[in-house]
Chain A
Amino acid sequence: MTDPDPIAEGSPEAEAIAHQPEPALDLVRRVLAGEHPTMTPKERMSIDRIQMVEQDAGARSANFEEVNLGLTEGLAFIEAERCLQCKKPTCIDGCPVRVNIPLFIERLRDGDMAGAADSLLSDNALPCVTGRVCPQETQCEQVCVRAKKGTPVAVGYLERYVADWAQAHPEALTHNRPAESGRTVAIVGSGPAGLTAAGELAKHGHKVTVFEAFHAPGGVLIYGIPEFRLPKDIVQAEVDRLSAEGVVIEPNSIIGKTFTVAELRERFDAIFLAVGAGLPVFMGVPGENYKGVYSANEYLTRVNLMGAWDPLNDTPVLHGQRVVVVGGGNVAMDAVRTAKRLGAAEATIVYRRGHEELPARAEEVHHAEQEGIRFEFQVAPLEVLANDERWVTGLRCQRMELGEPDASGRRRPVPIPGSEWVIDCDMVVVAIGTRSNPLLTQTTPDLHINEWGYITTDEYGMTSIPGVFAGGDIVRGAATVILAMGDGKRAAASMDSWLNGAWPPVEDESAAKATPAAMATPAAKETSAAKATPAAKETSAAAS
C-alpha cells in the first residue's frame, strides 16, 4: 500500500489489469497492493478470469520445460477473490476426489497459505499433479456457478498455486502423525490411484507398502505425462511427501511375476490393485511392425521415464522429422508435442472424428495448436508404408464423414470412397488407447474379471477376493488421472473400514440402507469365514 506503483510494465500483473473491465480495476489494484478488501458478490462478479502465465509458444516447442509457469501471488489473490463462496457449492460435487474447493480458496484469498495448503492436502494427496493435469473444464469449473454467466473460477490454477506453495514450504504444514493401527496394506501400482490410496491409508495409521513394476514410482505420471506438462521433480516431491508419512515404495516388483497376489495376501491385511491399463492398442493395419512405428506407451516411456530427450541418457529414441500421431486424447497430444520438441519439422495429429470430439483437455489442444501442431480431422489410417529397409515412409489414410451417432453418442465416422492419400512421414506413433494387462489377473485365478480383462468390484471397490480391492484404469478402463485418484480415495475409505472390522462400511443412513444390495454382490456371497476382516480374524484367534 505504501508502494505507489508496484506493478512492473509487461508483468503478468500488468497484463491482468490491462484486460480487466473498468468496474473491477480499482478492486484488482487494491488486491495487488496487498489488501484483502471485503467485496460484495457483485464486485467479485465484475472481475474477469485471469490468464495462466505461459512460456512463449515458439520457445517452448523446442524445449522440455514446463509450458504453464503458474500464477504469481498477485494473480492468485485476484482469482481467489472471484470465488463467490457459494452456500451450496456445486464445484465439490464436480470433483472426483471431492476437494473442498471454496474452503481452500477462501483461505488463500485471506492470505492464510498454510491453512489453504492443509485444507487442500487433507482432501487431495497429489494436488501438484491435479492442478496441472485435471480436465477442470469438464469437472469443477464446468459446474462453477460463475460459468453460467461468463467464465468459471480458475480452480485448477488456484489448486496448483496452493499445492506448489505447500511443496516449497513443507515446514509450514500441519503434520498429524496418526497412531499406528497395526494393520498392513499392499498397494500394487504407484500411479495416481495407488499413490492416492497410499496417502489416505497412511493417514489412518496403516502400514502401507507400494509395489511398482518400474524402477521409479509414479506410474503414468512418470512414464506417460511429459516433463513440459508435469515436471518429474514435482511428482518425485509428492512421492517423497508420502514416504515421509511412512509409505514404503518397493520398485522393480512385478506382481504376477516377482510376487503373486496370493503371496501378498498372506503378508498383508488388505491389498489394493491399481496396476492401470497398461497394454498398448495398435491400429491393426498392415505395416505396423516397420521401424519407426511406436506405441504411445513406448515412445513416451523412452522420452519421459528413460529420459531419452536428453542425449546424455543411454536410452535412445527415434527423432522423426515428419511425425504422425494417430489419436485425439491427452496421450496423443503429449506424443505429438514431444515429437515437435525433439525436432520434428512437421508433427501431425490424425484423428477419425472432428475438433469438437477430441477427448483431450481443451488446454492441451490449445497449446498444441499454438506450438504449430497440424491436425487432420476425420481421417482413418489404412496402412503404414515403408522403404526397402523397412523404415516408415508414409501413412496411407482415408477421409471420413460423420454419420449417425453411435453408442457413445458421438457421430460415427464413415469412410468417403476414393478419398485415400498418403501423409509422408518417417515416424508414426499410435495413441488410440490401451487395454488391460493380464500379467496380474492371469496369475490370480480367484480374481473375477470382465470380458475385456478388467477387474470387477462391488460398490465398495472390493474384488471377488475378500480383502483385495481394486481401482483406477484396471477397473474402469483407460481414463484420467483424477478419476483414478477418486477410485483410490474411495477404495482407501472402504479398506479402512475393512481393516477396522467395520464391514460393510456404514457412512450414513443412506449407506446403511444400501447394505442389503451390497450383500448380494458376488464378493458378498463368500462364506462369512472367508469374509472375515483382519479385526474379526484376530478376535476369533484370540477366542480359540
Chain B
Amino acid sequence: MHPIVSTDQLSPNVFRLVVVAPRIAEIRRPGQFVIVRKGQGAERIPLTIADADPVAGTITLIIQSVGKSTADLVEMQPGEAITDVAGPLGSPTELIETGHAVCVGGGVGTAVILPIAQELQRRGVAVTSIIGGRSREWVILEDELRAAGDVITCTDDGSYGRPGFVTEALKDALDAGGIDAIYAVGPVPMMRAVSALTRPYGVLTMVSLNSIMLDGTGMCGGCRVSIDGETKYACVDGPEFDAQQVDFAELMDRLSTYRPYEQAAMERREACKVPALAAAADKEAASESAVPTTPTGASR
C-alpha cells in the first residue's frame, strides 16, 4: 500500500499527488515512470514520476483526469492509499551534459519535462522551458520550472504570457540559435508539430510517448510504436525516442483504441454518483449489451 501524503490541483483537470514509495523515490531517474493500480478492479496506468524525495520516501505523480481510472485517482485524499505502485520503469532520458537545452511542455506533459529540466540544470546545462496551455488556468508547474532555468509561458488565447502555441516560441528560440537539444512532451499533435518544426534545424529532439500499457515490462506489446519503420516497445525501449523517427499518426491512432469503452466507463461513473441511477447503471453494466463491440462493427 502506498499512502497519499498530499494532493493539490494544478489546472482544471490536472492534479498532483505525493505518494509514499521509498524504493522508487531512491532510485528513479528522469524520464522513468511507474504503473499505478488504485485497487481491486482498477486499471494499471502508466504515470511519469514528476519528482521524488528520497529522504521523505515519496514520489510526485501529476495526473490529468481524462477517464474513469484517472478520475478515480485524482479524487483520492491524504490518508488514503494506492494499492499498487510498480517501478521505476522505462529507460531514463538520455540527457546532454553541456550546452543549452529547450524543454517544451504541453498540458500534463509539462510534468514529464520537470525532472528532465531539473537534472539538466544539475549537470550545468542551460535550460529554457517553453510551456503552454489553452489559457492561464491550464499552465502548470511554472514556478517549479523557473527554479530550473528560464521559462517562457504561452497561452492559446493570450490570457497569460506569450500568445500562441509553444511551437511559435520554440521557432523563435531555434532561429536565435545555440540550442543543443530539445525535449518535448505533450499531446501527440504538439509533439508532432515540434518534430516537424525542428527537423530542418537538425537539432536533436526527444519526445516521450504515452502509449497504452499493461505491464510496463515488455510483456504485452500493447505499447508498440513504429520508430524509423521498426516496431519498438515504448515501455522498455522508451518511453523517449528521437522525434524525427516516430510514426505519430500510428501512435495517435493506437491511443484511440479504447475510446468507446472509456466513454462508456465515464458514463457509468457519472451515473453511479446519483444513487437512483447507480442501480440501473450496475444492471446495465452487468448485461452483455452494455459492452461495446469492436468499433469496426459499427463503422461497417
Contact = CB atoms under 8 A, between A and B. Distances in A.
Interface in A261-319: 278-280, 282, 288-289, 291-292, 294-295, 297-298, 301-302, 306-307, 311-316, 318-319
B146 interface: no
Interface in A107-134: none
A215 B220 CA distance: 15
A159 B297 CA distance: 44
B253 A390 contact: yes
A258 B83 contact: no
Contact of B291 (A213, A343, A390, A438): A343
A205 B216 CA distance: 35
The binding surface of chain A is classed by DSSP as loop
A297 B300 contact: no
Interface stretch (B38-46, B48-56, B154-162): B38-46
Contacts of B23: 258-259
Given A289-B254, A291-B257, A314-B41, A301 B220 contact: yes
Interface string B220-236: 11101010000100001
Given A306-B43, A314-B68, A387-B300, A213 B86 contact: yes
Given A292-B294, A389-B299, A316 B219 contact: no
Given A291-B256, A295-B220, A311-B285, A426 B296 contact: yes
Contact of B83 (A214, A215, A315): A215
Nearest to B290: A311
Contacts of B294: 292, 318-321, 391, 426-427
Interface string A360-376: 00000000000000000
A55 interface: no
B296 A437 contact: no
A252 interface: yes
B253 A291 contact: yes
A59 interface: no
Contacts of B180: none
A288 B231 contact: yes
A306 B44 contact: yes
A75 to B, nearest CB: 34
Nearest to B214: A301
B142 interface: no
Given A306-B43, A390-B253, A254 B220 contact: no
A437 B68 CA distance: 31
B222 A298 contact: yes
Given A289-B226, A321-B297, A439 B217 contact: yes
Interface stretch (B107-115, B196-204, B258-266): B258-266
Given A252-B85, A258-B87, A316 B262 contact: yes
Q: Which size bracket describes the interface of B in this complex?
A: 35 or more
A441 interface: no
A445 B280 CA distance: 57
A257 interface: yes
B69 interface: yes
Given A254-B87, A298-B220, A314-B265, A387 B299 contact: yes
B65 to A, nearest CB: 14
Contacts of B221: 279-280, 282, 295, 297-298
B218 interface: yes
Nearest to A216: B84
B231 A289 contact: yes
B284 to A, nearest CB: 9
Contacts of B253: 291, 389-390
Given A307-B41, A391-B294, A302 B218 contact: no
A311 B68 CA distance: 13
A391 B87 contact: no
Contacts of B72: 314
A392 interface: yes
Contacts of A301: 214-215, 219-220
Nearest to B67: A314
A251 interface: yes
Contacts of B41: 307, 312-314
A393 interface: yes
Contacts of B250: 289, 390
B230 to A, nearest CB: 11
Contact of A278 (B37, B43, B217): B217
A280 B217 contact: no
Contacts of A307: 41
B224 to A, nearest CB: 6
B217 A254 contact: yes
Contacts of A426: 294, 296-297
- Which 6 pairs, one residue from A and one from B, show the smallest C-beta to C-beta distance? A316-B261, A298-B220, A252-B86, A295-B221, A215-B84, A391-B296
Interface of A: 213-215, 251-254, 257-259, 278-280, 282, 288-289, 291-292, 294-295, 297-298, 301-302, 306-307, 311-316, 318-321, 343, 387, 389-393, 426-427, 437-439
Given A291-B295, A298-B222, A306-B214, 6 more contacts: A289-B250, A291-B257, A302-B214, A312-B41, A314-B72, A437-B217
7 contacts: A254-B216, A289-B224, A289-B250, A316-B258, A316-B265, A343-B288, A437-B218
